[in-house]
Structure 1
């Protein structure tokens, strides 16, 4: 199975990159499943139902969120009726929405997507490892589902890597989001789980993690309130990871970076 995970979409430029590149990638890479992190898609802060629908029409099967999940308050009234949008699993009990979602392919294969939110330097949430253990307690890779993808939305690289090793051999892939900078450590771990500390963002890299660099510099140089932080509007780079799994085991065969457009060096999979 071929799964594309697209990193945090930031603002208008990120949305334009999804519109421009995702339909072609879906065809050219013969993708079975596409998952998009959309938590910064609406002006850099959250996701709206309209933007989510655009992503689905452009080729996404499922959208994950993160710490900005509720910045667009309209999503609170929409997420319970849209199983294709996944918020962090380890949010407090009673939070609207779901922490996991399933993509069922026409041939019957099933892909489970789970997101957890890190705790270091982040919002107050429950233990992500305990939450993930509970979610996977009755699900066996290769039996109950054909692939399991975990999005670890976290600030600290150590916390993301701990999840990779902690669930190695039990899920198909653990990929990191949130820090908006693609890392070069994509690999298949010893137990057969694909891992990448951060997939990177889908946004304008002539920026400070997707936000206008001039407004950001003002904040670093002065303690006084400055301009509102807004997304940079230059051409975006779509950053993603292509994961190929073994249908007999659900474990990963490979993981490779995908980068297209914008100012970042291009990267395309060697296995097509």
Structure 2
């Protein structure tokens, strides 16, 4: 079994790149499960709409994960409860959070769970991601699931690696998102969990992590509140990874980073 994952899709440029490259990637690599992080897909780079969610599904996504910008577009409250393929962070606090923190798919008779976690270091206050995932893994609906893919949306490398090692052998893959910069540490951990600190982003390659450099530099120079604008012009980047899985054991066999940019033209791996 193979998973294809694309990191944070940013703005209109990110949506264009998904429409262009995701069908090609699915044709070439034939993944059984395709997951994309869609928390930045609106024009402002914050949140998701129903129209954009449907566009991601049409392009080839099976599940769309979110993160700290999940609620930035209020329209999400109108449809997330009826959209099991849209997964918000599992560890959002409270008992009345709309939507779910995981989605379960039946893939050729194999039960697959896609989970979204959010980190706490330098992020908004959430419940403990360690205990939240521990609790989920003990729930009856997860007992028949043999393959568990986790998108951990977090700021620090240490928190992501600690989560991956804590759940090593209990989840199939722990793939980081949020920083928009792909790391070079793709690995299979000792007990069989695939790990990558950050999958990177899919969107405008110029600017600063998808935003116009002028707005970001102004923030650093003045230390004043600044509204960041999504970069529109220039080249793009597609970032993510491919994870090969033993469906019987639920453990990963191989993880391969995926990067398409002006410096790294598309080619099959």
Q: TM-score with structure 1 length normalisation?
A: 0.93
- Displacement of 1:237 in angstroms is 1.0
Give the match for residue 60 of structure 2. 59
- Displacement of 1:103 in angstroms is 2.1
Contact 2:46–2:69, Cα closer than 8 Å, also in 1: yes
Unaligned 5+ segments in structure 1 are: none
Give the whole-Å Cα distance in 1 for the aligned partners of 2:20 and 2:140: 36
SS of residue paired to 1:191: coil
- Displacement of 1:268 in angstroms is 5.7
Give the whole-Å Cα distance in 2 for the aligned partners of 1:155 and 1:51: 25
Per-residue Cα deviation, 1:229-271 (whole angstroms, up to 9, x for no partner) = 11112332110110000122110000001112x335357664x
SS of residue paired to 1:22: helix
Give the match for residue 193 of structure 1. 193
The question of 1:174 aligning with 2:174 is answered yes
- Displacement of 1:139 in angstroms is 6.4
Contact 2:28–2:268, Cα closer than 8 Å, also in 1: no
Matches within 5 A, 1:77-88: 77-88=78-89
RMSD, matched Cα: 1.7
Give the whole-Å Cα distance in 2 for the aligned partners of 1:192 and 1:264: 32
The question of 1:101 aligning with 2:103 is answered yes
1:224–1:252 CA distance, 2 compared to 1 (3 A): closer
1:140–1:225 CA distance, 2 compared to 1 (3 A): closer
Please list every run of at least 4 consecutive aligned residues from structure 1 whose deviation after the TM superposition is greater than 6 angstroms. Answer: none
Give the match for residue 184 of structure 1. 184
- Displacement of 1:138 in angstroms is 4.0
Give the whole-Å Cα distance in 2 for the aligned partners of 1:193 and 1:75: 32
- Count matched residues: 266
Give the match for residue 249 of structure 2. 249
Matches within 5 A, 1:15-26: 15-26=15-26
Give the whole-Å Cα distance in 2 for the aligned partners of 1:163 and 1:140: 22
SS of residue paired to 1:162: helix
1:192–1:225 CA distance, 2 compared to 1 (3 A): closer
The question of 1:135 aligning with 2:136 is answered yes
Contact 1:258–1:268, Cα closer than 8 Å, also in 2: no
Matches within 5 A, 1:93-242: 93=94, 94-105=96-107, 107-138=108-139, 144-226=144-226, 228-233=227-232, 234-242=234-242
Per-residue Cα deviation, 1:192-226 (whole angstroms, up to 9, x for no partner) = 00000000000112111110112111211123455
Contact 1:237–1:264, Cα closer than 8 Å, also in 2: no
1:82–1:140 CA distance, 2 compared to 1 (3 A): closer
